[in-house]
Chain A
Amino acid sequence: DTGVSQDPRHKITKRGQNVTFRCDPISEHNRLYWYRQTLGQGPEFLTYFQNEAQLEKSRLLSDRFSAERPKGSFSTLEIQRTEQGDSAMYLCASSFRGRDNEQFFGPGTRLTVL
């Protein structure tokens, strides 16, 4: 399968717990993006990586959020001390540098914080 994959697809957690999501981009795509989509809204940019370097973060990415892409391949997004407002769909997308218009999205991880 050559698409973007995300794991898990669904996560239910209690407020205050930590959660971690994984994204596997399309191989050889050197750019990887994280977006968040809340109910009734379009996806909103959180952060992006070029290879292993995290080059930009949105103001939406509070200190409780951290993202990594240690070897320039898969990426993880961790949320510490989750809050009910963190409930959303977390989407990962990847693109090939020079063709950044074409971002391919994964199916997303739906997070519910109780």
Chain B
Amino acid sequence: DQQVKQNSPSLSVQEGRISILNCDYTNSMFDYFLWYKKYPAEGPTFLISISSIKDKNEDGRFTVFLNKSAKHLSLHIVPSQPGDSAVYFCAAQTQTGANNLFFGTGTRLTVIP
């Protein structure tokens, strides 16, 4: 049972344009959401996060939006750069117990120069 879903396996965007990566979740107990970036042969690297008490969090070129009623979040990257090309994983947590992360299946972003 995939509790966090990323329905787009891949996305290609021109350099300088906006990249929008989407994520849906099913478990209403999730109250913290994260985006990780992964390059080949490396572990996931934390990118940005958002608590369920917020609907937007911004960090430089990266903004995460959370729509709790729709159980949907998105990551906006603007402007996109070739170095952003990687696999992006959406992840979710509850703030109890193990605090382990539930990951989506990832979206491969390719930024075309």
Chain A interface residues (CB < 8 Å from chain B): 4, 31, 33, 35, 40-45, 48, 55-56, 91, 93, 95, 100-108
Contacts and interface: CB of A to CB of B under 8 A. Distances in A.
Contacts, number: 57
Contacts of A31: 99
Given A93-B43, A105-B44, 9 more contacts: A4-B43, A33-B98, A42-B6, A43-B103, A56-B100, A91-B43, A103-B46, A105-B36, A106-B43
A111 B49 CA distance: 30
A42 B106 contact: yes
Nearest to B106: A42
Given A101-B34, A101-B49, A45 B100 contact: yes
Interface residues of B, number: 25
Interface in B34-49: 34, 36, 41-46, 49
